[in-house]
Amino acid sequence: MSAFDEIYTPTEDHQALREAVRELCEAKIAPHAAEADELGEFPKASFEALRAADFHAPHVPEPYGGAGGDALAVAIVIEEIARVCASSALIPAVNKLASVPWLLAGSEELKSRYFPGMATGEAMASYCLSEPEAGSDAASMKTRAVRDGDDWVLNGTKRWITNAGVSEVYTVFAVTDPDKRSRGISAFVVEKSDQGVSFGAPEKKLGIKGSPTREVYLDHVRIPGDRLIGAEGTGFGTAMKTLDHTRVTIAAQAIGIAQGALDYALGYVKQRQQFGKAIAEFQGLQFMLADMGMKLEAARQLTYVAAAKSERGDADLTYFGAAAKCFASDVAMEITTDAVQLLGGYGYTKDYPVERMMRDAKITQIYEGTNQVQRIVMARQLLAGLPQV
């Protein structure tokens, strides 16, 4: 077996992990999913269940008290949580998103300061890149960080920040040299308790309602110089490298949502009777189910390949991360829509979970780079000469 196969193919440990996460999710996460969606509140009980089982941030390296899960293990955890509750899946996903910059560029002192709290669940983290006028064009951000002696003073607004207000730590990208555009952006760690940090009202969203999304306001926030992540001016590069890795987690979330919808639809069509027999016996619906299963498995395999490339840091990760996120999220939107169709009028009601899954699936086509942006990323990689298999 090649080294690639050893990393790409789920091992017995990965399978045991999947079984453990699924058992936990069925017992302690699924019962809260509809309520979190209905109330639009962070699922505290689900978080505590994940925290107790060490699934809230499985990527944290062992030297800092974490489980040290590889990229495929993290993808499996997120996939299984998303199968029952997409909002709860954002707990491990966003913890990873916010802290990959620490792994890529942070000092040992910074990692030793912030990873232990994440490992215990005492301090979740959020990623602050987007702004009101800087979404897909992140290099146009306006948030400023100005050096003042040994400190930095930050001013600006960050928008669409997942788990803002719940997280204790924020990885913030800000302009330190406005004349250099993307090369004048740096990355910092900001703490919720820092004076001048505040939050907007929760956004009223279509889906993932159990995961709060707020603006983060930075009003003359003074932080010590040792909270700079990497060298000054390297923040944008760190942000883009981070997304190469974490788009895999969004792909995993998407396939989890899709799997949950397919599972429910399969059970339904076997039980639902029309014209004197189960609707599962109608060929037209069997074709729908076949396409759903086929596309889901294709998305899963592409996601696992991307996870393996993330673990190794392969040169073509940018392409595969974008491809996995784009394909899996498009498939999730299609499968959840078809699941609603298979349930007919019942699928359109909140009495059944597939309408929530359909709403939740939509965001996976938008955040961490819209799927239009993913296609631009892939095309550029191909035109630049992607390494051949």
Residues 216 and 306 placed together within one structural domain of the fold: no
Query: Which one, of 85, 90, 77, lies nearest residue 36 by Cα?
Result: 85
Q: Which of 176, 208, 233 is the last residue of a domain?
A: 233
Residues 254 and 366 placed together within one structural domain of the fold: yes
Residues 140 and 73 placed together within one structural domain of the fold: no
CATH number at residue 261: 1.20.140.10
Low-confidence ranges of the chain (pLDDT < 50): 1-4
Q: What is the pLDDT of residue 279?
A: 98
Residues 21 and 50 placed together within one structural domain of the fold: yes
Q: Is residue 389 in some structural domain?
A: no
Q: Which of 175, 209, 233 is the last residue of a domain?
A: 233
Q: What is the pLDDT of residue 6?
A: 53
Q: Is residue 151 in some structural domain?
A: yes
Residues 286 and 357 placed together within one structural domain of the fold: yes
End-to-end CA distance of the chain: 17
Residues 249 and 380 placed together within one structural domain of the fold: yes
CATH number at residue 11: 1.10.540.10
CATH number at residue 165: 2.40.110.10
Both tokens of 231, joined, read: 């060298």
Q: What is the pLDDT of residue 2?
A: 43
Q: What is the pLDDT of residue 4?
A: 47
Domain that holds residue 8: 3-120
Residues 116 and 136 placed together within one structural domain of the fold: no
CB-based contacts of 47, cutoff 8 Å, min separation 6 = 56, 88, 91, 121
The 3-class secondary structure across the chain, one letter per residue, is: CCHHHHHHCCCHHHHHHHHHHHHHHHHHHHHHHHHHHHHCCCCHHHHHHHHHHCCCCCCCCHHHCCCCCCHHHHHHHHHHHHHHCHHHHHHHHHHHHHHHHHHHHCCHHHHHHHHHHHHHCCCCEEEECCECCECCCHHHCCCEEEEECCEEEEEEEEEEEECCCCCCEEEEEEECCHHHHHHHEEEEEEECCCCCEEECCCCCCCCCCCCCEEEEEEEEEEEEHHHEECCCCCHHHHHHHHHHHHHHHHHHHHHHHHHHHHHHHHHHHHHCEECCEEHHHCHHHHHHHHHHHHHHHHHHHHHHHHHHHHHHCCCCHHHHHHHHHHHHHHHHHHHHHHHHHHHHHHHHCCCCCHHHHHHHHHHCCCCCCCHHHHHHHHHHHHHHCCCCC
Q: What is the pLDDT of residue 389?
A: 59
Residues 240 and 380 placed together within one structural domain of the fold: yes
Residues 243 and 364 placed together within one structural domain of the fold: yes
Q: Is residue 247 in some structural domain?
A: yes
The tally of CA atoms less than 13 A away on the side-chain side of residue 61 is 13
> How far apart (Å, rounded) are the C-alpha atoms in residues 104 and 146?
23
> How far apart (Å, rounded) are the C-alpha atoms in residues 297 and 303?
10
Based on the structure, what is the number of domains in the chain? 3
Both tokens of 138, joined, read: 């992140």
The tally of CA atoms less than 13 A away on the side-chain side of residue 197 is 20
The pTM (predicted TM-score) of the whole model is: 0.96
With beta carbons less than 8 A apart as the criterion, state whether 66 and 115 touch.
yes
Q: Which of 120, 155, 180 is the last residue of a domain?
A: 120
Residues 51 and 177 placed together within one structural domain of the fold: no
Residues 266 and 359 placed together within one structural domain of the fold: yes
**Can you give the length of the chain in residues?**
389
Residues noted as catalytic? 368
Residues 327 and 274 placed together within one structural domain of the fold: yes
Q: Is residue 154 in some structural domain?
A: yes
> How far apart (Å, rounded) are the C-alpha atoms in residues 253 and 91?
11
